[in-house]
Amino acid sequence: MVDESGEWDWCRISPWLPKETLEKIATMLPPWQGTGSYWCQIWRLSVPQCVRVFIWLVFHRRLLTNAERGRRNLVDSDRCSVCNTGTESIEHALRLCPQVRQVWEAMIASDKLSVFDSLPFDTWLLQCFNSIAGIGVDNVIWSTQFAMTCWLIWKAHCTIVFDGAGLYGVGLARYGRILAAEFADTHACRTGGKPHYS
């Protein structure tokens, strides 16, 4: 709904909305103005729309982790349902859980792992979407692979929480790489460009 410069894309939205609605929209700032440049990065990711929405939820701290469910008195414990070793925050679910560590260790070049681990969570997210050069172990664009893998980690986590079983470790890392590569190839074919490899 916004153009490359971050302004409302009137050519795109005006044919679909009544004049009164367009006038209301004109009084508002476009979504990412004033909320940081990460907004643009999220919506430009070469991933399916459901993954973009998921990443947006992560950036806005809107995932329903056990910590959040505990805050709302929906569960008795805020512990991680997968490892049972810590409070299940978004950072724990996507980065710190021992099961998730196995996924990242399988995906990240060993010499880059200490940098990957040392960053504060918000910085970690932003750096991963800025395609840290050479961090991955293969040639799929890292931001695509990272976003798809975070989404798969959350899906696996929810499957364990609600169904009692899920895929983690090297298997999930491999699945993340395959999905990212397939999506990049499909997107490239649809847009007439080259496959999205770095």
pLDDT winner (highest mean) among 1-5, 21-25, 88-92, 165-169:
88-92
Asked if 47 and 183 touch (Cβ cutoff 8 Å), the reply is yes
User: Using one digit for the tens of pLDDT, what is the confidence trace for 20-54?
Assistant: 888 877 776 666 544 456 677 777 787 889 999 99
- Measured between alpha carbons, how far is 193 from 4 in angstroms, rounded to an integer? 19
User: Using one digit for the tens of pLDDT, what is the confidence trace for 141-197?
Assistant: 788 888 889 999 999 888 888 887 766 777 778 777 778 778 777 766 655 655 544
Asked if 38 and 60 touch (Cβ cutoff 8 Å), the reply is no
Average confidence score pLDDT of the chain: 79
Going from N- to C-terminal start, the domains of the chain cover 63-191
Identify which of 83, 86, 84, 88 has the alpha carbon closest to the alpha carbon of residue 68: 88
Top pLDDT among 63 and 164 is at 63
Identify which of 112, 172, 183 has the alpha carbon closest to the alpha carbon of residue 141: 183
What pLDDT band is residue 133 in, cutting at 50, 70 and 90?
Answer: very low
